[in-house]
Amino acid sequence: MGGERLYLYDTTLRDGQQTQGVAFSTAEKLRIAQALDALGVDYIEGGWPGANPTDSAFFEEVGATRATLTAFGMTKRAGRSAENDDVLAAVLDARTPAVCLVGKTHLFQVTEALGITGEENLEAIRASVAHVVAQGREALFDAEHFFDGYAGDAGYAVACLEAALAAGARWVVLCDTNGGTMPGQIGAVVADLIARGLPGDRLGIHTHNDTEQAVAGSLAAVEAGVRQVQGTLNGLGERCGNANLTSLIPTLLLKPPFAGRFDIGVTEAALEGLTRVSRMLDEILNRVPLRQAPYVGSSAFAHKAGLHASAILKNPATYEHVDPALVGNRRVIPMSNQAGQSNLRRRLAEMGLEVPRDAPALGRILERIKAREAEGYTYDTAQASFELLAREELGCLQEFFEVERYRVTIERRRDAQGRRVTLSEAVVVVRIDGEQTLSVSESLDAAGCDQGPVNALSKALAKDLGRYQSVIDDMRLVDFKVRITQGGTEAVTRVIIDSQDGMGRRWQTVGVSANIVDASFEALLDAVRWKLIRDCGAGPAA
């Protein structure tokens, strides 16, 4: 991809780690760095060596990368030379090709927080940057609180940038540290800096999302002339997060007026891996991926409105601003009471059920979905339960077995040592080919800990399905979500279960009941039925 060079600087491993609840292990940092390198960012800021043991370990272990590895630190403290500042020395000890030092540019903070004069601060910037350059490293200067500093005393704030540049900094980065500056203001300040003679190709932008405008602020700075953008994957970062590279990268590559204007080092093939990289980070963080995330969220190309969904079928550009395949994502047309017959036929076709237009079963399926949704069911994500319902109406649902009854007992008491213990036990009675089988299971895991009634039921149900047993042996329950759907006395519980099998297939089922255990059982049962249809054949075709 041609055009003017625009550099991406990733700080997921440093500023991203300031996210509340996030603490990467060294191994996790290495895995993220590898993904960033494959994505094609220009700089990977790995942490603050000396301030954090995992950061030091990361730099020791990371090895060679295509991207420029960067250590973060701060300008030398007053009252000592750069050479004798132990904090700075620890940063340089990481031996990274680039070093980024944060320093103050807001005169108020210099005199009040640091208690030094403006000139002393300028000298600290000069000496620190010069020291990094003298060590043969690329130096970057993060101008903390730059936009507040500029608003307070533009002359001084600009002098700080000039001091860093004169001392040899490859980049000075304009940081909106508190995240409160509007994109329009950012653009105007950058334009003023360039008018004052500062070189745009040595200016960077670092924004935070405190007004939900970190991406817009970064793009405003790029439009005004900066040529480095700092951000994080999935917008991780302190408070509301940093500028989200996962949104910025596709926008810079795909959207006018940016598309085609810049070379940002991310190839088309790497862009197709973006959704995967975003999900990998969530997996490392053990977070549920944000469905609404731009470009990479599972809902980012989900078309729920009936009018939209039918137009999309004719021409995707009617309701999609970019092709989801370009970022490795995919289109979703969910079922809902607003969806029409055309969505339904398409959904069924995706499941291998070709149904003629105007087949009477289509209307019946929509009616049943509507009625079930009024009871608290949802089929947006529970595709497997939806398929079972549709197959039933289409007359192509084979029932492999019947559950005659089940019973679950949950007990809490004190054991012989006086400790509180809980135990769940489930009995499931099933009829297969006219034969009745009774199965019983406890809920204890390998360590002897109670995993609860749903676990016990799941094990009992999957324990003996006769000739079908081998088909379900590789199934396991991987996620379980519970929601109370109505308030007051009409409260019902909706359970959604994710199952997975040895082939890596993953499917979702739903159950609804006032009784949470019964709702769970219904979803479990659907999961088993769906698996049997997939692997034992579905009976007559539609």
Regarding 282 and contact with a copy of itself (CB under 8 A), the answer is no
Binding status of residue 467 toward a copy of itself by CB under 8 A: no
Q: Give the count of residues interacting with a copy of itself (CB under 8 A).
A: 125
* Residue 2 DSSP label: -
Any contact of residue 436 with a copy of itself (CB under 8 A)? no
115 binds a copy of itself (CB under 8 A): no
Q: How far is the CB of 251 from a copy of itself (least distance, A)?
A: 5
Per-residue binding string, a copy of itself, 503-522, x by CB under 8 A, is ----------xxxxxx--x-
Q: How far is the CB of 436 from a copy of itself (least distance, A)?
A: 13
Rounded distance between C-alpha atoms, residue 199 and residue 217, angstroms: 19
**Contact residue for a copy of itself among 12, 19, 75, 128 (CB under 8 A):** 19
What is the maximum span of the chain, computed from C-alpha positions, in angstroms? 92
Cβ–Cβ under 8 Å, residues 67 and 27: no
**500, containing H or E segment:** strand 493-500
Q: Please, what is the minimum distance in Å from the beta carbon of residue 166 to a copy of itself?
A: 26
CA distance readout (Å), 304 to 301, 312, 333, 373? 10, 11, 6, 15
Question: Three-class SS of residue 260?
Answer: coil
**What does the per-residue mask of binding to a copy of itself show for 186-215, with x meaning CB under 8 A?**
-----------------------xxxxx-x
Q: Are strands 262-263 and 4-5 parallel, antiparallel or unpaired?
A: parallel
Alpha carbon distance 498, 382 (integer Å): 9
CB nearer to a copy of itself: pick between 68 and 493: 493
How wide is the angle at C-alpha 54 spanned by C-alphas 53 and 56, nearest 5°? 65
Single out the residue of 3, 4, 5, 23 in contact with a copy of itself (rule: CB under 8 A): 23
d(CA 84, CA 270): 43
DSSP H helices, 286-430, are 306-314, 341-350, 360-375, 383-394
Among 480, 534, 535, 539, binds a copy of itself (CB under 8 A): 480
Q: How far is it, in rounded angstroms, from Cα 125 to Cα 77?
A: 10
Cβ 397 to a copy of itself shortest distance, Å: 18
Pattern of binders to a copy of itself over 128-167, x per CB under 8 A?
----------------------------------------
- For residues 354 and 402, which CB has a smaller minimum distance to a copy of itself in the complex? 402
Is the distance from CB of 451 to CB of 444 less than 8 angstroms? yes
Cα separation, 485 vs 514, whole angstroms? 10
The DSSP annotation for 16-50 comes to GGGSTT----HHHHHHHHHHHHHHT-SEEEEE-TT
Does residue 40 bind a copy of itself (CB under 8 A)?
no
Instruction: Name the minimum Å distance from CB 108 to a copy of itself.
Output: 9
Least Å distance between CB 181 and a copy of itself?
Answer: 8
**What does the alpha-carbon distance between residue 117 and residue 108 come to, in Å, rounded to a whole number?**
10
Instruction: Give 102 or 169: the residue with its C-beta nearer to a copy of itself.
Output: 102
470 contacts a copy of itself (rule: CB under 8 A): no
Give φ, ψ of 226 to 5 degrees.
-70, 155
291 binds a copy of itself (CB under 8 A): yes
Three-class SS of 104-119? ECCHHHHHHHHCCCHH
Query: Are the beta carbons of 91 and 131 closer than 8 angstroms?
Result: no
The least CB distance from residue 25 to a copy of itself, in Å, is: 7
- In whole angstroms, the minimum distance from the beta carbon of 389 to a copy of itself comes to 17
Query: Judged by CB, which is closer to a copy of itself: 251, or 385?
Result: 251
- In angstroms, rounded to a whole number, what is the distance separating the alpha carbons of residues 116 and 505? 62
Smaller CB separation from a copy of itself, 106 or 170? 106
Query: Distance between CA 89 and CA 84 in Å, rounded?
Result: 8
Q: How far is the CB of 316 from a copy of itself (least distance, A)?
A: 10
Q: Is 219 in the site for a copy of itself (CB under 8 A)?
A: yes
Footprint of a copy of itself on 385-424 (CB under 8 A): 403-414, 422, 424
Subset of residues 323 to 352 that bind a copy of itself, contact rule: CB under 8 A: 332, 334, 336-338
CA-nearest of 150, 172, 171 to 161 is 172
Using CB under 8 A as the binding rule, whether residue 502 contacts a copy of itself is answered as no
Q: Per CB under 8 A, which of residues 482..501 are in contact with a copy of itself?
A: 482-489, 491, 493
